[in-house]
Amino acid sequence: MKEKADWIGVFMTPSAYFLFNKEGSEHWFEYIPPLINDLAYKTYSAIWFDIKEIDTYLIEIKKDFILLAPIVPEVVKKFTNTIEYLKIISNNDLGKAT
């Protein structure tokens, strides 16, 4: 099966989204993930990093991307979409107060 995601992340299929009960889960965030075919649907995405360290993590992931140089046009959107997802999580202040 061909890759559909245009970011580095994990998200639920539409079927899983409708079956999932988010109550009590701190590891999922409702989001519309960027897809290669520009199809858009709201689902849950996994929070795969330590939210309390999100600001540091943003800096570190950018450094990691640079290590993969050269960053070619075919992957730059995947990287920027990933960074955008992290910024959205950061702006929502999920878990920062705990």
- Overall residue count recorded for the chain in this entry: 98
- As a whole number of angstroms, the distance between CA 25 and CA 22 comes to 5
Chain centroid to CA 31? 9
Let me know if residue 67 belongs to a domain. Answer: yes
pLDDT at position 98 is: 39
pLDDT at position 69 is: 86
Let me know if residue 51 belongs to a domain. Answer: yes
Structure tokens given for 53: 């360290």
- Residue range of the domain that includes 23: 14-91
Let me know if residue 52 belongs to a domain. Answer: yes
**H or E element that contains 28:** strand 28-31
Q: Please tell me the total count of domains within the chain.
A: 1
Whole-prediction pTM value?
Answer: 0.84
pLDDT at position 3 is: 74
